[in-house]
Chains A and B, each alone.
Chain A
Amino acid sequence: MVQYTQTRFDASFAALSDATRRGVLEQLGRADASITDLASKFHMTLTGMKKHVGVLEQAGLVATEKVGRVRTCRLGSRRLEEEAAWIESYRQLWSARFDALDNIVEELKRKEKIDGHKQRK
């Protein structure tokens, strides 16, 4: 977990070290945009912008989706990843609780059985 976080962190860091890429993130924070939009906004060739977006995408800061001929960029899958990680740790908490609850239900069942026998006698 720590190792993974560190690697991801380094990737983010590298991605954010460039002024254009920081500008792209800021832009996408306002609205989704196609690579063509971004290229013209930042006075750049399509190929150049594709490279920048690729670096941001690698770092999980930007997600892209191709619909027809247009590749649309939006702010990253990072948040979804974080949500998935949170849901998994929430599940682990409840799973641990419920394992303990299982034991108590077993105990109550046994106790009820014994008490039931006693009452019948």
Chain B
Amino acid sequence: MDTSRESEPAPMTDRTTVERKSERELVVTRIFNGPARLVFEAWTKPELLKRWWAPKSFGVSFLSCEADVRAGGTYRFVYGHAASEQPMAFFGRYIEVIPNARFVWTNDEGGEGGAVTTVTFEEAGDETRVAMHDLYPSKEALDGAIASGSTGGCCESFEQLDELLVTRGAGGS
């Protein structure tokens, strides 16, 4: 057994994976060091959720965070960003909630092209593997989300860059 390797923590950036599983589907995974019920609690209690969902390093901060996590309940997250005067709102409703195992919500802020998100919590020993599936209604909807440049939390600066490039392109042709 290679103990020297084991004692070194894996780089933070390698622990979260994102994969486009199919034309309509994105999957984000991560393993947490704790039981599923605690990870689930941190996803579903607004006072805990608001402490991690809007990462400071991305310059976003919560203005309000409402989440009524039960089937048929709704959520509404509003955050502000240093580079944008307009607050951003994300909202939808919970379709299915199985405590400590799985919950499903809609993303309605983008109209009909919004994904349905399913998060599963799988406990193994002291760890919990979380998988978050975003299923888009069509290939076009996911392509569109990617083309918009927005990842739903961080990308105003990319959008501004895109605008600059488009403007330059139009001016030069």
Contact = CB atoms under 8 A, between A and B. Distances in A.
Contacts of B158: 89
B153 interface: yes
Interface residues of B, number: 42
A83 B144 CA distance: 11
B73 interface: no
A41 to B, nearest CB: 22
Contacts of B153: 93
Contact of A94 (B16, B41, B168): B16
A114 to B, nearest CB: 14
B27 to A, nearest CB: 11
A91 interface: yes
B155 interface: yes
B154 A89 contact: yes
A86 B19 CA distance: 11
DSSP class of A's interface residues: helix, strand, loop or mixed?
helix
B17 interface: yes
Interface stretch (A31-39, A45-53, A60-68, A97-105): A97-105
B146 A101 contact: no
Contacts of B146: 82-83, 86-87
Contact of A91 (B18, B55, B152, B155): B18
A95 interface: yes
A119 interface: no
B38 A93 contact: no
Contacts of B52: 97-98, 100-101, 103-104
A95 B130 CA distance: 13
A106 B165 contact: no
Contact of B39 (A13, A96, A105): A105
Nearest to A1: B161
Interface string B6-27: 0000001101111110000010
Given A83-B146, A93-B55, A108 B28 contact: no
A100 to B, nearest CB: 4
Given A2-B161, A9-B168, A89-B154, A101 B32 contact: yes
B6 to A, nearest CB: 19
A58 to B, nearest CB: 18
11 contacts: A82-B146, A89-B155, A92-B154, A93-B58, A93-B152, A94-B28, A95-B13, A96-B57, A106-B34, A108-B34, A108-B42
Interface of B: 12-13, 15-20, 26, 28, 30, 32-34, 38-39, 41-43, 48, 51-53, 55, 57-58, 132, 146-147, 149, 151-155, 158, 161, 165, 168-169, 172-173
